[in-house]
A and B are shown apart, each in its own frame.
Chain A
């Protein structure tokens, strides 16, 4: 596989390895059946909550997809559908539906009417570069603040929210390594007195969010710094 991609035979020259972002952590709350807070809307597979804790470990997305697809959803969605099967087609005249449709149409029209000259790739690359350099595996307050300002100027706001979340978390833990918070040996320094919570961000207006703290309680284990030694 490596040879196929790089054209270099790893049996003869050392493999070139570099880090890359390919997954984001955090997301929707689901119940035991993987249904979100919206009845009938399931989040599963790669979009699943996490069998692995709030921090995703390597190579687990594929497992998640397989486990959910093969073992979980066939047993859970059926129970929901079995009582829904008698529900007639839902009308699209409902005022909420009309409002939602209009909102989406307006946003799309606004984007289309700009008659932009730049490609999707152009934005993807630029935003990607900001996120990679300033909200990457190692992040610090100065760079995060710069990133927030740069994103506000040109881009959609999800990246901004990720930076805001990283900025408020004044500790290092899991995939979040704040350069200001490390041990002398360069390991992640946790602050469980102040940050033993999951931040659930609530959209309150255009680019306005409110943070809801959802406390993390551990009954059977004590949280501690992870040691790779």
Chain B
């Protein structure tokens, strides 16, 4: 399939960005969205042009690095699917796809689609502490945890810190609470409360 990409290009956080249009030919529907970008970047590098910078790490949906706004939605059209797990079969031959970085003042653009998400780290560090072991804690098996609390704790652990919720929602936490019921929302909310 052939795809037209409108991609946000921005050299650094201070310069103004703009959309750049690229044609990507011979895209296989089995490629992930990031692999499609790999093909484009390989070509741009061979032509001596500036490749599109984007973030990625695991490419298996668990690290939360692959932040991209695709056609106006964080991570693209599917529900609960990160960009690296989005495949080109979700698009049609001839489609024009608009790709932007996470839109949020909290995430300044480093370059093109790569943003700086250290604001998440700052929020976590704001309530941060280091504990020193000064004796033995009570045996964990003797402290019963109600099932509801255990379930909530599990939901908290499910957040991969990708930042999509912040990018999607100007009010920060409504997206996460509604769609992923996850911890980022609570971290963000409590971080805000502390600063106020």
A binding-site residues for B, Cβ under 8 Å:
4-7, 74-75, 77-79, 81-82, 117-119, 121-122
The one of A6, A79, A118 in contact with B132, judged by C-beta atoms closer than 8 angstroms, is A79
B29 touches A (CB below 8 Å): yes
Chain B stretch 74-98: residues in CB contact (< 8 A) with chain A:
81, 85, 87, 89
Asked if A5 and B38 sit within 8 Å, CB to CB, the answer is no
Q: Is there contact, CB below 8 Å, between B30 and A78?
A: no
Flag if A7 contacts B130 (CB, 8 Å): no
Q: In the complex, what residue of chain A is closest to B43 when comparing beta carbons?
A: A119
B158 within 8 A of A: no
Check if A4 sits within 8 Å of B133, measured CB to CB: no
- Let me know if B130 and A78 touch, CB within 8 A: yes
In the A-B complex, the 7 residue pairs with the closest CB atoms: A119-B45, A78-B132, A78-B130, A82-B132, A75-B133, A7-B89, A78-B131
Does the CB pair A7–B46 fall under 8 Å? Answer: no
- Minimal beta-carbon separation of B49 from chain A (angstroms): 12
Contacts of B30 in A (CB 8 A): 6-7
Chain A proximity mask over B111-155: 1 for CB below 8 Å, otherwise 0: 000000000000000000011110000000000000000000000
Closest to B80 in A: A4
Q: Is the CB of B42 within 8 A of A119?
A: yes
A218, B42: Cα distance in complex, Å: 50
- Contacts A78-B131, A78-B132, A119-B51 aside, 8 further interface pairs with beta carbons under 8 A come to A4-B81, A5-B85, A5-B87, A7-B29, A79-B133, A82-B130, A118-B45, A122-B42
Report the minimum CB–CB distance from A88 to chain B (whole Å).
18
Provide the residues of chain B in CB contact with A118, threshold 8 Å. Answer: 45
With A and B bound together, what is the CA distance between A82 and B133 in angstroms?
A: 10
| Interface flag for B41 (CB, 8 Å) | yes
Name the distance in Å between B143's Cβ and chain A's nearest Cβ: 15
Chain B residues contacting A117 (CB-CB under 8 Å) are 45-46, 48
State how many angstroms separate the Cβ of B170 from the closest Cβ of chain A: 29
Q: Would A78 and B89 count as touching, CB distance under 8 A?
A: no
Residues of B close to A119: CB separation below 8 A: 41-42, 45-46, 51
Distance, CA A105 to CA B196, complexed state (A): 43
Chain A residues with CB under 8 A of B51: 119
Give the dominant DSSP class at A's interface: helix
* Cα–Cα, bound, A92→B30 (Å): 49
Q: How far, in angstroms, from A167 to B89 measured CA to CA in the complex?
A: 43
Which residues on B sit within 8 Å (CB–CB) of A7?
29-30, 87, 89
Can you list 10 A-B contacts with CB-CB less than 8 angstroms, sorted by A residue number? Answer: A5-B85, A5-B87, A77-B130, A78-B133, A82-B130, A117-B45, A119-B41, A119-B42, A119-B45, A121-B38
Q: Decide: B130 and A81 in contact? CB cutoff 8 A.
A: yes
Q: CA of A139 to CA of B45 in the docked complex: distance in angstroms? A: 34
Give the CA-CA distance A82 to B132 in the complex, in Å: 7
Query: For residue A8, which residue of chain B has the nearest CB?
Result: B30
Query: Closest approach, in angstroms, between the C-beta of B159 and any C-beta of chain A?
Result: 14
Q: What separation, in Å, do the CA atoms of A162 and B48 have in the docked complex?
A: 34
The residues of A that contact B29 with a CB separation of less than 8 Å are: 7
| B52 → chain A closest CB, angstroms | 13
Complex Cα distance, B45 from A79, in Å, reads 48
Residue in B closest to A122 when the chains form the complex, CB atoms: B42
Chain B residues positioned under 8 Å from A75 (CB to CB): 131, 133
Bound-state CA distance A7–B86 (Å) is 11
Q: How far is the CA of A122 from the CA of B133 in the complex (A)?
A: 49
Q: In the assembly, what is the distance between CA of A123 and CA of B36, in Å?
A: 18
CB pair A121 B42 closer than 8 Å:
yes
Who on chain A is nearest to B44 by CB? Answer: A119
A112 to chain B, nearest CB (A): 15
A5 to B87, CA, bound (A): 7
In chain A, what residue has the closest Cβ to B30? A7
**B46 in contact with A74 (CB, 8 Å):** no
